[in-house]
Chains A and B, each alone.
Chain A
Amino acid sequence: MRPLLEVSDVKIEFSHSSGPSTAVDGVTFDVHEGECVGIVGESGSGKSVTARSVLRLLPSAGKMTSGRIAFEGEDVLGMSELRLREFRGGDVGMVFQDPMSSLNPVIRVGPQIEEAMLYHSRYGGQEAKSRVVDLLARVQVPDPRMRSRAYPHQLSGGMRQRVMIAMAYANEPRLLIADEPTTALDVTVQAQILRLLRELGREFGTAVILITHNLALVADLCDRVVVMYAGRVVEQGPCREVISNPQHPYTWALLETARQMGAKGRKLFAIPGSPASAKDRIHGCRFHPRCAFAVDRCRDQEPPLIDLGGGREARCWVLMQNVSPDLTRGTPQ
């Protein structure tokens, strides 16, 4: 079966006054119908840029210099301006991190959701109007009729994010891209929004790309995970297997820190240094300066994505399965 979305070998460069720099370097992944894929990474990993390139929403300085993105076999780069307008918000919905800056502050939220439907002409005027209240009810906004007449500033952060989600689902997209959808929210509200995304995904059969820095969110919501570091995919595979048995030292280290964080104990396992970005042009494996298990080869030659079977891949010469358990038990510095 053909995947819903195919991202293959995408390279994205940004032009600066000091010359071009690479933000994303040869990223490949698929999203299948109804599947939830998490893209995890820290700042500079290129996760948001990758997701935006799917909708051709790169900032003006950014450019996809090679690779291919296909939605149901259709080349996204080859889309006409007209087709692109239909594609964005019609075939693919998007939810951003900060709901306040993505909503128009001077228009009531109901008409904003309605506009999203009228723009795509999938629903007529009266139908769109009545669907607004249904959609708000569906994203569990209490008293949806009254809330549809509220301005964004009259709603709480969690409510605003629900409105954004209602808007993203208004045209029943096949794919939803959620870029850090809960980072600005409190923990009790975050859990509500995640549950909502999960339920809506099931109900509408929508595929979801969740972009986050938090592996625990991915564990909670996703079927598959793509871990990015410095513009590269370093590991990908079925979520549960990656989390229970990570093969790239970066994934392993992130999980190790998170596990120790939740427990009492003196010293935390910490990855030394700070996150690299693709523009740092590190020779060899991009993670090797921070890696506890790096060997000479890692400094000289960048590893390819190695197929581990079962849909799993990792970009590492060493792989955690070959690291002696004695080394992972202590706190390597």
Chain B
Amino acid sequence: MNNAIDSDSMALVKVDNLVVHFHLGVGLLNAKKVIHAVDGVSLELESGQTLGLVGESGCGKSTLGRALVGLQRATAGRIYFRGVDVAQVKSKALRELHKHIQMVFQDPVASLNPRMTVEDIIGEPLRNYRVASGLERRSLVSKALEACGLSRDMMHRFPHEFSGGQRQRVGIARALVLRPAFVVCDEPVSALDVSVQAQILNLLEDLQDQLGLTYLFISHDLAVVRHVAHRVAVMYLGKLVEVAACEELYARPLHPYTKAMLVSSPGLERDERSNERALLKGDIPSPVNPPSGCRFHTRCPIAQFPKCQMEEPPLLRNGTDHWVACHFPGKA
């Protein structure tokens, strides 16, 4: 498998040929159905950087994120954290390792227990890991709250007393209270009002600067990713189709899918041209039966048959640190 990586540099997180399949094995008809959520993804995340992971619903981006924090078992492949193969780590050490890997969820309502106070919510990881108790725990919680732009007086309140943006700040404080090195942010601003999104993005960036955090930033919103990410990986039906430095990807998209996503996003300055934009046809196919060959060939404007239908294009380097999985890169 090709690694979209430079193996000499020391990556904080390295994903090697990761596969996550879900077996639908319920009932006679579904017994053999398998969802290919993540199908051979290799990635590297450098310390202190943000990798944006972009794709449409059902492309496997959230499953990949969940596999990285250990919420989802990998079917095959390896995940290395600071050079250590996570799968080889035994239970006690694994627990210790997961202290350094945390997650911020999309829905700040569903991800906070409505019956716990904010102090208990943010203090829970500290209690789980026996990091601190009593007054010390309280002081760590109030520090985390303040770092996330909330006041320590809010500690005794319940989630419903907060606005959506404030709840997401609580979710971020909980993720950061153990001082992790790596945070998976799964659509952290998608559920928020437009005017609040910018506040949360600024907060995530400030925290990255202060604490040297590494983010995997999962989103369907290309504008948001462009703002926060250093590198961007584009995913389609369980596969990476393009990986490049952020500005490079937006300036010189090589994969026809990346191009299509870019022209599809509505922009403020668009004019009459918008009617002539080449849009993709159809919807994303089912990950139960992904198309043969290149998975994008059913919607691709430049697909050539039978090549694209038969042969799966590998992720290959095209220019410095620009990787693309297409038989005809840059032709669209």
Q: Give min CB distance, B246 to chain A, whole Å.
A: 7
Partner of A188, one of B163, B166, B195, B261: B261
- Chain A, range 177-210, C-beta contacts under 8 Å to B: 186-192, 194-195, 198
Partner of A214, one of B163, B165, B205, B266: B266
Q: Give min CB distance, A182 to chain B, whole Å.
A: 9
A43 — which chain B residues lie within 8 A by C-beta?
A: 164, 193
The answer to whether A257 touches B195 (Cβ under 8 A) is yes
- Chain A, range 221-259, C-beta contacts under 8 Å to B: 243, 253-255, 257-259
CA distance A220 to B264 in the complex (A): 11
Q: Give min CB distance, A199 to chain B, whole Å.
A: 9
Q: Give min CB distance, A269 to chain B, whole Å.
A: 7
Q: Give min CB distance, A225 to chain B, whole Å.
A: 12
The answer to whether B268 touches A255 (Cβ under 8 A) is yes
- Chain A, range 33-76, C-beta contacts under 8 Å to B: 42-43
Q: At the interface, yes or no: A215 with Cβ under 8 Å from chain B?
A: yes
The answer to whether B198 touches A262 (Cβ under 8 A) is no
Q: At the interface, yes or no: B57 with Cβ under 8 Å from chain A?
A: yes
User: Assuming the A-B contacts A159-B283, A269-B198, are A194 and B205 also in contact, with contact meaning beta carbons closer than 8 angstroms in the complex?
Assistant: no
Partner of B279, one of A156, A195, A264: A195
CA distance A42 to B226 in the complex (A): 23
Partner of B223, one of A213, A262, A266, A290: A262
Which residue of B199, B266, B279 has the most chain A CB atoms within 10 A of its CB atom?
A: B266
The answer to whether B193 touches A274 (Cβ under 8 A) is yes
The answer to whether A142 touches B282 (Cβ under 8 A) is yes
Q: How many residues on the A side are at the interface (Cβ–Cβ under 8 A)?
A: 47
B265 — which chain A residues lie within 8 A by C-beta?
A: 187, 191, 216
Q: How many residues on the B side are at the interface (Cβ–Cβ under 8 A)?
A: 44
The answer to whether B195 touches A187 (Cβ under 8 A) is no
Q: At the interface, yes or no: B260 with Cβ under 8 Å from chain A?
A: yes
CA distance A191 to B202 in the complex (A): 28
Which residue of chain A is the closest to B264 with respect to CB atoms?
A: A191
The answer to whether B268 touches A215 (Cβ under 8 A) is yes
Q: Give min CB distance, B227 to chain A, whole Å.
A: 5
B261 — which chain A residues lie within 8 A by C-beta?
A: 187-188
The answer to whether A220 touches B196 (Cβ under 8 A) is no
The answer to whether B266 touches A274 (Cβ under 8 A) is no
Q: At the interface, yes or no: B147 with Cβ under 8 Å from chain A?
A: no
B221 — which chain A residues lie within 8 A by C-beta?
A: 187
CA distance A315 to B193 in the complex (A): 21
Q: At the interface, yes or no: B86 with Cβ under 8 Å from chain A?
A: no
A261 — which chain B residues lie within 8 A by C-beta?
A: 197-198, 201, 223-224, 226-227
Q: At the interface, yes or no: B275 with Cβ under 8 Å from chain A?
A: yes
The answer to whether B227 touches A220 (Cβ under 8 A) is no
Q: At the interface, yes or no: A219 with Cβ under 8 Å from chain B?
A: yes
Q: At the interface, yes or no: A303 with Cβ under 8 Å from chain B?
A: no
User: Assuming the A-B contacts A214-B266, A262-B267, A268-B201, are A186 and B56 also in contact, with contact meaning beta carbons closer than 8 angstroms in the complex?
Assistant: yes
CA distance A275 to B165 in the complex (A): 10
The answer to whether A216 touches B57 (Cβ under 8 A) is no
A254 — which chain B residues lie within 8 A by C-beta?
A: 194-195
Q: Give min CB distance, A73 to chain B, whole Å.
A: 34
- Chain A, range 255-305, C-beta contacts under 8 Å to B: 255, 257-272, 274-275, 290
Q: Give min CB distance, A162 to chain B, whole Å.
A: 10
Which residue of A187, A214, A271, A275 has the most chain B CB atoms within 10 A of its CB atom?
A: A187
Q: Give min CB distance, A151 to chain B, whole Å.
A: 16
Q: At the interface, yes or no: A77 with Cβ under 8 Å from chain B?
A: no
A156 — which chain B residues lie within 8 A by C-beta?
A: 283-284
The answer to whether A158 touches B199 (Cβ under 8 A) is no
Q: At the interface, yes or no: B280 with Cβ under 8 Å from chain A?
A: yes
Partner of A270, one of B199, B224, B260, B284: B199
The answer to whether A219 touches B193 (Cβ under 8 A) is no
Q: At the interface, yes or no: A3 with Cβ under 8 Å from chain B?
A: no
B246 — which chain A residues lie within 8 A by C-beta?
A: 264
The answer to whether B164 touches A274 (Cβ under 8 A) is yes
The answer to whether B195 touches A253 (Cβ under 8 A) is yes
Q: At the interface, yes or no: A100 with Cβ under 8 Å from chain B?
A: no
Which residue of chain A is the closest to B229 with respect to CB atoms?
A: A264
The answer to whether A263 touches B226 (Cβ under 8 A) is yes
The answer to whether A188 touches B267 (Cβ under 8 A) is no
CA distance A312 to B318 in the complex (A): 50
Which residue of chain B is the closest to A190 with respect to CB atoms?
A: B264
A195 — which chain B residues lie within 8 A by C-beta?
A: 275, 279
- Chain B, range 148-173, C-beta contacts under 8 Å to A: 163-166
Closest 9 CB pairs of A and B: A270-B198, A191-B264, A186-B56, A216-B266, A274-B163, A156-B283, A271-B195, A42-B193, A268-B198
Q: List 9 A-B contacts (CB under 8 A).
A: A191-B264, A213-B194, A216-B266, A217-B266, A258-B194, A258-B223, A263-B227, A274-B165, A275-B195
